[in-house]
Amino acid sequence: MEEKDDGFLDQIDRQILQFLRQDGRMPYTNIAEALNLAESTVRKRVNRLLEEGILKIVGVINPLRVGRFALAIVGINITGANLSQVLAELNKLPEVRYIAVCAGTYDLILEVAVPDTESLFVFLTETLRSIPGVTGSDTSLVMKVCKERYEWEAAANNDQSAVE
């Protein structure tokens, strides 16, 4: 096995990841053939990448194609002692697609997808306000998504310039 040159990934790992970036369902036999490896080698490496949390393969659903026509970015402020409780409540909400704990103006940033602006109004004025610990919010309605990426190039030798 090739020695890992950046502490996490060796060249073969990065090549496998490149194929999976193009098609997360690509058969291991296709990857193995392209890289001149045994299928079992590719399978073992992918399993290791999955187990170590380096790789996650998911289907990404376009909310606009499934009736979620109103997208919003919501900045939330909370009382300090309630972070874990607020996160637990937000994680239960199907409208919330993304949650990030932040330093700065907001304690949390959410991405919310709902069927229409009336549903967004209900989410903001009833659902969100009913969560203990939420002290305020600021909402930006997404008018158009201009770039949305879920993959990036794995850096070699801790070279952060390869991270997009």
Strand partners, 75: 109, 138
67/133 same-domain check: yes
Residues 103 and 138 reside in one and the same domain = yes
pLDDT of residue 1: 44
> What CATH number does the domain containing 79 carry?
3.30.70.920
135 and 69 share a domain? yes
Asked whether the beta carbons of 95 and 123 are under 8 A apart, the reply is: yes
Closest of 67, 75, 26, 62 to residue 46, by C-alpha: 26
For residue 51, the enclosing domain spans: 11-58
Question: What does the DSSP assignment read for 14-77?
Answer: HHHHHHHHH-TT--HHHHHHHHT--HHHHHHHHHHHHHTTS----PPP-GGGGT--EEEEEEEE
Q: Which two tokens stand for residue 36?
A: 């001149």
Q: Return per-residue pLDDT of the chain as tens, 164 residues.
A: 444 444 579 999 999 999 998 898 999 999 999 999 999 999 999 999 999 999 988 887 777 777 778 899 999 999 877 899 999 999 999 999 999 999 999 999 999 999 999 999 999 999 999 999 999 999 999 988 888 776 666 655 545 444 43
pLDDT at 40: 96
Q: How many domains does the chain have?
A: 2
Query: Tell me, what's the pLDDT at 160?
Result: 45
